[in-house]
Structure 1
Amino acid sequence: MLLSQTIEHSSNVKNTYMKPRIVAFIPAHNEEKSIRDCLAGIGDQKLPEGVELDVFVIADNCSDNTAEKALDAGAEFNLNLYVLKTKNNKQRKVGALNHAWKNIYGDHLDIYFEDLTPYQKIYKQSIKAILGMDADSRLAPKALMYMWEGLMSARNIGGVMAKYTMRMPKKKSTLSKDDVHYEEKLASGEYGGFLARWWTHQQKQDMASWLLDLQYNGGSTYVLGGQATLFRPEALQNIVDENKLDGPWQDESDVEDMLLTWQLQKSNWKTLISPKARCFVDSMRSYHTFRQQRNKWQSGTVGLLTSKDIGVKTKHLGKIWRSQLKSMMNLLIRVLFLLLLVVSIATDQFQWSWIWLTPIVVASILNTILAIKTPMNRPIDVLLAALLISPEIYLWVNLVTFVHVWLDRFSATKKDGWANQYKAEAGITRSKIVHLLLILTIITMSVVFLCIYYQDFLTSSTMQMATQPYLIMGWTVLTYITVFATLQMVYQIWTLRANYSA
């Protein structure tokens, strides 16, 4: 084992004292550009008194200088850092995390498996917490201390997650094209245009809404995000033993962090978010990368909800199903409204009622509050939220993902969400948003043309009498659904009065 090679053995193990420690697992696949910043955040952390920190960077199938950059950063920030390397790891992030786990706890699938040495046993016993982090994340100062305090507040707490905030890219317009490092800075990912910054804020606001809801309902979470979570080793070992695994993380789902969380809850471990710890994470800065990431998340969630093979459920099952039904309701409201509106106008039966402003006003208030409560918001974000421009566009994108994933669920072909996301981020695949907008434009223009061309027929008394019962029924159904959705928004506004921060 690498651990036995990197740590000096003691000749008198029984009398050896080893301080309690936290170990960090950071899987990194070709992350030479981001690993230094991640490790800089760890170097900023204040440790609990008498506790040491060891950092394990897992250079996973890397073809760049991730390992070398990590070692340089470890020396720069005075970290106890070790680099583990994987080759031909087909389980990607899951395989990398389990590789680090086996390095300390042993690999029972190794045909040459040997029991841990006495020193390794002492080292394993000294580990009081395991920090799982992504290589493109950065902990805010004191975040590790806050998560530690949460984890140590009770023995039955299996994991504590930091609150995530997407990092806003700097304005691309601030870069001078005469700068000799212009291309290099642009490629670094630190800068973005209006759309990249807009996408980032929408994801920040979405995350803020989720975090505020979790805190209002007690702080328990159904997913301990892989970007920054502090685990109790005893809880992870419990998962390994109960499920006869070779490591805590599994690749049976595209959302391995959610599956692990559900398994912890099944074994009666609490899974919480920290009210104070914050972690800054990268956002998806284009429509295509965002869609692929959300496809993976939504597909993994739906898979866990509907799969009979995995055999593990969460106490938050009702909340997750309600979220799915809410998406269905939002889709139904919009599709039904557009259909009824077109038919009503085409047949000259549309009648405006001021009561329809009620859900719009409520939605505007809700999204304005969320925009204000989103960390590091900008005035333009609050304005666009109040006008419902940003929320509506963002919602439609998520509704497209919702429909796509549920249709795929009944498909015989299983898609690799991780692979699709990697390809999107690497620029290997391209978005079809232009084609979709073109098709929608053609359909809209065709409908308008047909309505004008057949206006006399559509507005005739015969057509009006034929469509009127269906329109009355449709508007009635839409009214009831909209009232229910409005009451949900009112309730969410009520919960936001609580003094919680996102």
Structure 2
Amino acid sequence: MNPSIDISALKRVYVKPRIVAFIPAHNEENSIRDCLEGLADQDLPPNVELDVFVIADNCTDKTEDEALKAGHDLDLRVIVIKTKGNKQRKVGALNSAWKSIYGDVMELYENKLTPFQEKYKPAVKAILGMDADSRLAPHSLLHMWSGLMSARNIGGVMAKYTMRMPQKKSALTRDDPYYEQKLRSGKYGGPIQRWWTHQQKQDMASWILNLQYHGGSTYVLGGQATLFRPEALENIVNENNLDGPWQNDSDVEDMLLTWQLQKLKWKTLISPDARCFVDAMRSYHTYRQQRNKWRGGTVDLLTNKDIKIKTRHYGMLWRSQMKTFIDLFIRILFFVLLTVAISTDQFVWSWLWIIPVALASILNFVLALKTPMSRPIDIFLGGLVISTEIYLWVNFLTFIQVWLDKLSPYKKDGWAQQYQAENGTTRSKLWQGLGLFALFMTALVLSAIHYREYLTSESFQELTAPYLEFGWLILTYLTIFASSVMVYKIWTLRSRHKA
């Protein structure tokens, strides 16, 4: 892969320190300008300049033209790197930008830096990694810079992420000549898309608040907006004999990079003040494919003995996996016990069951309040628990699939599956699944009615009673544990930290 770079605007000698932004962009002609407008809004540290490297990665649209035009209009120094035949997607695009400054160690005939690189490389004091469909809030770059420069051992500082809520689709009129174009832009959505966006935004807020409460260290420097120290990235390249900091060995290249930084004793932090607005997945199918990639990559790293990090994050991630398993098991066990108890006429109501529901309601209500730019309907639905429970079940399905895939001998390409889902080349099986579940429930109810006389007989009740008693006992202890975790989370949310 030989990226071409136009450096005609960068021939003079640079003496000022620089921040360089790496923005991989595959067919992002509709979003690249918004991303660059966010960079144009930023304040820069005194005597520090900003250069923006847009990597037009295997593009077949006008991403390059739109980037250069936006750079001219916004008075940004934009350099476009074009890749062709890049098979490593985002990783290959980022490494192309890296090699344009630091050289390509895999070059067969010339390993020396060019005159341009010799002059430019020492001036680079920070590297900003961004996605082409994200946008920094004003002053965020300065906040990340302050965090990065607060200590020499800080390898990267990430902005806090907030999902952008799409505007109401009903605000558009069908006689608008740009109606279809506006819908395709992704800036508008119906109630379901807006509901999905809020659930992801609240989920992200919960994650950020938890990390901030425990000191602000993060186990993943997200690719949407992170400011890196160049020496830390060079440290990764040299220690691991790589040709670039980013690796294609994982579906979560940003998490792999973060773990390698921590293994080399670099700190990885979340900025308490910087914010980046990112797009959410707005359908069940695209969300599932994205989370399959994220969670699958996380499990791969957790089970990779060569990349184990000796920090509290490693144990925290395993505890999170166990917590998800316990939450799923509680619900399945409750469904089984409730079904058997009702079918055999042994069901006894207890008001104690209200306690975990009430705790979940309080927790989600407070989380919705602390989620940036929440709507009143989001806070109301958070208190009802139903929305959160639906969202949680979607994550349970992802959890099950990820671990089944882990046990499977076949390796799936998470990037390809997410990309295909976002482009509409694959379809969700949600309705088929719901249909099968409805058939199962119907068959279960009809069977209970048909065999009611036998199921409620004294002999069958005596047979099932010990199992029910033991099952309810196990469920009670697990529920106490889950309730204790919710109480702890509610306690942590009292802190001054903001998502």
TM-score for both structures, normalised by structure 1: 0.97
Match of 1:6 in 2: 8
The answer for the alignment partner of 1:93 in structure 2 is 90
- The counterpart of 1:39, out of the listed 24, 36, 39, is 36
**Structure 1 residues 273 and 32, CA, compared in 2 at 3 Å: closer, same or farther?**
same
Structure 2 segments unaligned to the other structure (5+ residues): none
Deviation at residue 300 of structure 1 after TM alignment? 0.2
Contact 2:166–2:194, Cα closer than 8 Å, also in 1: yes
Structure 2 match to 1:490? 487
8 Å CA contact 1:4, 1:120 repeated in 2: no
CA shift for structure 1 position 117: 3.4
Give the distance between the partners of 1:231 and 1:215, measured in 2 at CA.
19
Q: CA deviation at 1:275?
A: 0.3
Change (3 A) 1:257 1:8: closer
Of the structure 1 ranges 39-48 and 310-319, higher mean CA displacement relative to structure 2 is found in 310-319
Residue 378 (structure 2) pairs with residue 376 (structure 1) = no
Pick aligned residue for 2:454 from 434, 454, 457: 457
**Counterpart of 1:30?**
27
User: Is 1:212 the counterpart of 2:214 in the alignment?
Assistant: no
Aligned to 2:208, the other structure's residue is in SS state helix
Alpha-carbon distance in 1 for matches of 2:308, 2:271? 28
Q: Distance in 2 between matches of 1:309 and 1:266?
A: 11
Where does 1:72-471 land on structure 2 (aligned, <5 Å)?
Answer: 72-308=69-305, 310=307, 314-471=311-468
> Sequence identity, in percent?
66
- The structure-2 alpha-carbon separation of the partners of 1:413 and 1:149, relative to structure 1 and needing over 3 Å to count, comes to same
SS at match of 2:490: helix
**Secondary structure, aligned partner of 2:34:** helix
CA distance in 1, matches of 2:196, 2:395: 12
Q: Is the partner of 2:277 in helix, strand or coil?
A: strand
Matched position secondary structure for 2:100: helix
C-alpha distance in structure 1 between counterparts of 2:216 and 2:350, whole Å: 41
- C-alpha change, 1:405 and 1:9, in structure 2 (3 Å) is same
Q: 1:420 to 1:381 in 2, by over 3 A?
A: same
- The CA distance in 2 between the partners of 1:130 and 1:222, in whole Å, is 19
**Aligned AA (2:50):** L
Equivalent AA in structure 2 for residue 316 of structure 1 = H
Map Cα deviations across residues 418-453 of structure 1 (whole Å, 9 max, x no partner). 000000000000100000000000000000000000
- CA drift at 1:181: 1.0
Distance change (3 Å), C-alpha of 1:353 and 1:291: same
CA contact (8 A) 1:222 1:314 kept: no
Distance in structure 2 (CA, Å) of the matches to 1:495 and 1:113: 55
| 8 Å Cα contact 2:23/2:129 also seen in 1 | yes
How many Å separate the matches in 1 of 2:83 and 2:4? 12
- Equivalenced residues, count: 497
Q: Matches of 1:133 and 1:415 in 2, distance apart?
A: 26
Residue 20 of structure 2 aligns to a residue whose secondary structure is strand
Distance 1:183 1:475 in 2: 54
Provide the C-alpha distance between the structure 2 equivalents of 1:66 and 1:45, rounded to a whole number of angstroms.
22
Stretch deviating more after TM superposition (300-309 or 268-277):
300-309
The letter for the 1-side match of 2:260 is: Q
| Secondary structure, counterpart of 1:316 in structure 2 | helix
- Could you list the runs of 5+ residues in structure 1 that have no partner in the other structure? 11-15
Q: In structure 2, how many angstroms separate the alpha carbons of the residues matched to 1:171 and 1:8?
A: 44
Q: Any conservation in 2 of the 1:169–1:190 contact (CA below 8 Å)?
A: yes
Shift of 1:114: 3.3
**C-alpha separation in 2, matches of 1:140 and 1:489:** 32
Distance 1:167 1:255 in 2: 22
* Distance apart, 1:112 and its partner CA: 2.5
Output the CA distance in 2 between the equivalents of 1:475 and 1:161: 45
Letter in 2 for 1:6: S
Output the CA distance in 1 between the equivalents of 2:322 and 2:341: 28
**Rounded Cα–Cα distance in structure 1 between residues aligned with 2:252 and 2:88:** 13
**Shift, 1:250, TM fit:** 0.4
Q: 1:412 to 1:466 in 2, by over 3 A?
A: same
- Alpha carbons 2:35, 2:136 under 8 Å: kept: yes
Question: What is the rounded CA distance, in whole Å, between the counterparts of 1:8 and 1:434 in structure 2?
Answer: 55
Deviates more, 1:375-384 or 1:190-199: 375-384
> Which residue identity is paired with 1:193?
G
What TM-score results when the alignment is normalised by the length of structure 2? 0.98
Deviation at 1:310, TM superposition (A): 4.6
Which amino acid is 1:498 matched to?
A: S
- After superposing the two structures, state which structure 1 stretch, 120-129 or 291-300, moved more: 120-129
Deviations 1:66-118 (A, max 9, x none): 11111111111111110001111110000000000001000011112331134
Shift of the 313–101 alpha-carbon distance from structure 1 to 2, 3 Å rule, reads farther
2:172 partner letter: L
Distance 2:39 2:7 in 1: 24
Alpha-carbon offset, residue 7 of structure 1: 5.0
SS at 1:146 equivalent: helix
CA contact (8 A) 1:45 1:142 kept: yes
Equivalent residue letter for 1:41: G
**Cα 1:311–1:384, aligned 2, differ >3 Å: closer, same or farther?**
closer
Given that 1:265 and 1:315 are in contact with CA atoms closer than 8 Å, whether structure 2 keeps it comes out as no
- The amino acid across from 1:475 in the alignment is W
Aligned to 2:498: 501
Q: Which residue of 2 aligns with 1:13?
A: none
Q: CA deviation at 1:65?
A: 0.8
